[in-house]
Amino acid sequence: MAKRAAKLPVALQRGHDHKKCVAEALRQADELCAKRGARMTELRRRVLNLIWESHAPVGAYAIMDMLKREGRNAMPPTVYRALEFLQEQGLIHRIASLNAFIGCSHPADAHGTHYLICRRCGTVAEIESGAIGGAIAASARELGFDMTGQTVEIAGICRECLQTPKRGSASHAH
């Protein structure tokens, strides 16, 4: 029986044109904020850009360090407010188990959040799974639970890492 190849999320495609991911994410962010009348300040945009540097999650302190290195006066409350704003707009997601953030590539569509988290390269990919979402919603309904959201974090090793022989502690960048 032929195995049906699932479409690999861009985040998990090694060597993909990541500049395109970043450009598209920033374009969508500007467009969405303009449409919603939300204020995308220069700092908020820079924070979004830094989070999009790769598909691996970035923590708030790492973001502050990067901003400081750029010579910006990035006080924690300012950075937290920027992160809050980006989350509210659906432009980034917080990965609870890592207490870190990733950029969302489809912020305009409402979606459940199911993440594949690679323990080796750190890549996080959002997957759209109607089956997972449906099963959780059905269980909640059965228990009379009024579900307002769901997050599923799936830990493991991504396909690219499985195919790459492990070489000491050297990790590959995305």
73-to-41, 43, 47, 57, 79 alpha-carbon distances in Å? 15, 10, 13, 23, 10
Binding-site ranges for Zn ion (CB under 5 A)? 18, 21, 104, 118, 120-121, 126, 158, 161
Q: How far is the CB of 37 from Zn ion (least distance, A)?
A: 22
Nearer to Zn ion, 51 or 64 (CB): 51
Shortest reach from residue 104's CB to Zn ion, in Å:
3
The residue count of the chain comes to 174
C-alpha distances in angstroms, 38 versus 31, 33, 119, 170? 10, 5, 35, 42
Place of tokens 């032929």: 2
Note the maximum CA span of the chain. 59
Residue with Cβ nearer Zn ion (79 or 158): 158
In whole angstroms, what is the distance from residue 33 CA to residue 17 CA? Answer: 25
Nearer to Zn ion, 72 or 120 (CB): 120
Least distance CB 10 / Zn ion (angstroms): 6
Least Cβ distance, residue 96 to Zn ion (angstroms): 14
Residue 74 or 100 having the CB closest to Zn ion: 100
